Amino acid sequence: MALSSPQTQRFILTNNLHTPSTSKNTHRSTSSNCFTTTTSRRSRCCSAIAIDAPSSLAEAPGIRWGSIALQGMREEMEDDIIVLPDSLHGFSFAAVFDGHGGVSSVQFLRDELYKECHEALQGGLLLVEKDFKAIKEALEEAFVKADTRLLKWLEMNREEDESGATATAVFIGDDKLLVSHIGDSSVVLCRSGKAEMLTSPHRPYGNNKASLQEIKRIREAGGWISNGRICGDIAISRAFGDMRFKTKKNEMLQKGFQEGRWTEKFISRVQFNNDLVVACPDIYQVTLGSDTEFLVLASDGLWDYISSSDAVSFVRDQLRKHGNIQQACEALAQAALDRRTQDNVSIIIADLGRTDWQNVPKQQQNVTFELVQALATIGIVSIGIWFSSQLSL
Distance CA 238, CA 181 (A): 9
Residue 375 belongs to a domain: no
The pLDDT of residue 228 is above 50: yes
Same domain, 135 and 160: yes
Same domain, 80 and 195: yes
Residue 173 belongs to a domain: yes
For the chain, first and last CA: distance in Å? 27
Q: Are 150 and 240 in contact (CB under 8 A)?
A: yes
User: How far is Cα of residue 298 from the mean position of the Cα atoms in its chain?
Assistant: 5
Residue 367 belongs to a domain: no
Distance CA 90, CA 126 (A): 12
Residue 378 belongs to a domain: no
- Domain with 22 in it: 5-200+281-362
The pLDDT of residue 348 is above 80: yes
DSSP string, 183-237: SS-EEEEEETTEEEE------S-SSSHHHHHHHHHHHHTT--EETTEETTTBS-S
Q: Are 299 and 248 in contact (CB under 8 A)?
A: no
> Which residues, 6 or more positions from 105, have their beta carbon under 8 angstroms from its beta carbon?
99, 150, 154, 163, 164, 165, 240, 241
Residue 381 belongs to a domain: no
CB atoms within 10 A of CB 334: 17
Same domain, 76 and 182: yes
Residue-wise pLDDT for 236-291, tens only, equals 999 999 999 999 999 999 999 999 999 999 999 999 999 999 999 999 999 999 99
How many angstroms separate the Cα of 144 from the Cα of each of 95, 99, 149, 313?
A: 16, 17, 9, 36
Considering only CA atoms, give the Rg of the chain. 22
What is the model's pLDDT at position 186?
Answer: 97
Same domain, 261 and 313: no
Same domain, 98 and 22: yes
CATH of the domain at 23: 3.60.40.10
Residue 288 belongs to a domain: yes
Residue 274 belongs to a domain: no
Same domain, 248 and 109: no
Same domain, 112 and 134: yes
Same domain, 139 and 228: no
Residue-wise pLDDT for 30-79, tens only, equals 333 344 433 333 333 333 333 333 333 333 358 999 999 999 999 999 99
What is the model's pLDDT at position 62?
Answer: 85
The total of structural domains in the chain comes to 2
Same domain, 253 and 179: no
Residue 372 belongs to a domain: no
Same domain, 328 and 223: no
Angle separating helix axes 308-322 and 325-338, nearest 10 degrees: 140
Distance CA 335, CA 117 (A): 33
